[in-house]
Structure formats: structure tokens, C-alpha cells
Amino acid sequence: MSEQQLPVVVIGTGPAGLAAAAHLHERGIGHLVLESGPAAASAVREWSHVRLFSTWGELVDPAAEKLLAPTGWTKPDAAAYPTGGDWADEYLQPLADALGEQVRYEATVTGVSRAGRDRIVDADRESQPFVVHFTTPAGEERAFASAVIDASGTWTTPSPAGASGLPALGETTAADRITYRVPDLKDPAV
């Protein structure tokens, strides 16, 4: 298969990854979307209870809207503010569903390299296809790609609490007592 025929691999089904996939679909470019979680927008779902500061009108990508239109999807009120859960359930999951089998869940990307190239063999690296390594519950897999879009986000690598991008004094020592999440205070388990 020539490099032109290889799909573009998109890492992540957050709003950026799914919008990228919708644009690839619009342009007729093959794509494969790999998501580590069991459903679309797994990171956004972790703060489902928080209401966004953006309106629906600012959160729906035009290419995604075109892809969703034939499925009977109704655009929510453009002036309303969804929660993270609304964003995931009412837009991101339907969008992932519209992309169909091109989206794979529980597929965690562990590395991206160039075919046949490593620390010793480097010649002509830029003309070689990408190799995307990922794990699924069934084991390890590899996919060849013409390009890779990393939309894996930053949710799993939060900034430290301290200034200047460094941990605050004591932050590392107290790490087991610090959370970087947004607790749901209505949840009796919190």
C-alpha cells in the first residue's frame, strides 16, 4: 500500500480528535481514531458535572455538524451552556458513532515511530510511513499511517499547583493528599 493510501491515525476522541476526524471524513481522507477509554470523550466525562463557560454555538465543529446532519442529530440551543456530560452525550458520542468503525475504543497508543527506522537506521526517515503502536484488551497492535494527529489532550498530565510550571513547596511530598480533579460535591462518595 502506498503512503497516500494509508490512513491518518488520530489519537483520542476528545473534541479535538473527533473534529479532526470529521474534517478528514469531509476531505475523503482515510482515518483511524484510537481512544484509550471505553467511550468517546473519556477525559471530558471525568468532569461531567461541571458546566462549561462556552455555549453550544462555540462547541460544535462545522464539519462535525455536516457529518451528523444525516443521522437525524439535532443541534442543541446555540446559546445554552452544556455540562461536560451534556457535551459528551449529546455531541461527542453521536459524532464518534457517526464515524463508525473508524473509531476504536480501549485502544491506548503507546508509541509512534517511522517504519524500519530506529536509533541506528535513520536514513530517509521522513519518507517512511508512521507506525503507531497501541494496546487493546486483546493485546498489542500496530497500524501504519500516512500521518498522525496527537489529540490525546493534557487531562492525564495536569500542571503542578506551584507557579512557573514547577511543583509548589511541599507539593511533591504531599502528593498522596492532592487531587488535580474537579470534585463533584453533590456526590455522596466524595
Ligand X SMILES: Cc1cc2nc3c(=O)[nH]c(=O)nc-3n(C[C@H](O)[C@H](O)[C@H](O)COP(=O)(O)OP(=O)(O)OC[C@H]3O[C@@H](n4cnc5c(N)ncnc54)[C@H](O)[C@@H]3O)c2cc1C
Contact residues toward ligand X (CB under 6 A) are 11-17, 34-37, 41-44, 47, 50, 52-54, 108-109, 151-153, 155, 182
Choose between 116 and 183: whose C-beta lies nearer to ligand X. Answer: 183
| Helical (H) or strand (E) element with 10 | strand 8-11
Looking at residue 33, its amino acid is V
Choose between 97 and 124: whose C-beta lies nearer to ligand X. Answer: 97
Nearest Cα to 107, choosing from 153, 146, 139? 139
The C-alpha cell 510550571 sits at 165
Cell digits of residue 87: 457535551
Helices (H), the chain: 15-26, 42-45, 56-59, 62-68, 84-87, 93-99
- Which residues in 46-74 are b (16+ Cβ under 10 Å) and which e? bbbeeebeeebeebbbebbeebbeeeebe
* Smallest gap from residue 96 Cβ to ligand X (A): 10
In this structure, is the dihedral angle defined by the CA atoms of residues 156, 160, 163 and 167, taken in order, positive or negative? negative
Choose between 17 and 94: whose C-beta lies nearer to ligand X. Answer: 17
* Smallest gap from residue 53 Cβ to ligand X (A): 4
Choose between 60 and 109: whose C-beta lies nearer to ligand X. Answer: 109
Nearest Cα to 137, choosing from 66, 51, 44, 37? 37
The C-alpha cell 491518518 sits at 8
Choose between 42 and 146: whose C-beta lies nearer to ligand X. Answer: 42
Cell digits of residue 76: 442543541
* Smallest gap from residue 169 Cβ to ligand X (A): 25
Choose between 105 and 129: whose C-beta lies nearer to ligand X. Answer: 105
